Amino acid sequence: MNMFLEIKDVVSVRDAASFYGLKVNNNGMCVCPFHADKNPSMKVDKRFHCFGCNADGDVISFVQLMFNLNAKEAAIKIIEDFHLGIDTGRKETETQKNKRIRIGKKKEYEKKIREAYLVELKKFHNRLSEIQRLFFEWEKKFTPSMEQWETNFIDRRYSTALYFENRIEYILDVLDYGDDEEIYEEYKHREETIDYYERKITEVK
């Protein structure tokens, strides 16, 4: 396998985008660095595609465009920046090799932590979405009739749904479109948040 294929096998465009300073939201969207982009219009994953300027390609071409490099220069930059154990044809000293291995292990650990974080974040988002759907169902199913409004007989599930729908919508918007600090702030309190809404559901059922 040549070094280009090896790089693309272990480093995604999303990895590179985050590493080189682009803020990637939970949906894999970021502001495109290749045109005057104000709102996130670039999708990054294994490859990238901008729905604004139509820039498209793999991680090699992404780094080429970002730093105005040729393909080989871009490949070498990725290998060195991500401390990959891929032969570039350059000789390295024993000290450089040990440093590369040490940093590579650290990067691997950080990657596993980040992946675990994203898994838990997705679980949090999915559970909130389920609760939101339940409240939507309650609002629709238990909307009071004219007679119930007049007699002030309103099902608690209807009033609970109205009260909490916007709150949950706000948290989901933060998880989808907030910056890293805003998302992490909600993430830190995910267990209390879910417990709170599940208690409210149980109380009115």
Reported as a single tens digit per residue, the pLDDT across 167-190 is 999 999 999 998 889 999 999 999
Structure tokens at 100: 């590369």
The pLDDT of residue 140? 93
Question: How many CA atoms, within 13 angstroms, populate the side-chain half-sphere of residue 104?
Answer: 15
Q: Which domains does the chain have, with CATH numbers?
A: 3-89 (3.90.580.10), 117-204 (no CATH)
Q: Indicate the Cα dihedral angle 170, 172, 178, 183, nearest 10°.
A: 110
CA–CA dist 196, 193 (Å, integer): 5
Structure-token match 């272990």, residue found: 10
| Per-residue pLDDT at 83 exceeds 90 | no
- How is 112-156 classified by DSSP, letter by letter? HHHHHHHHHHHHHHHHHHHHHHHHHHHHHHTPPPHHHHHTT---H
Reported as a single tens digit per residue, the pLDDT across 21-42 is 999 998 999 999 999 988 899 9
| Per-residue pLDDT at 1 exceeds 90 | no
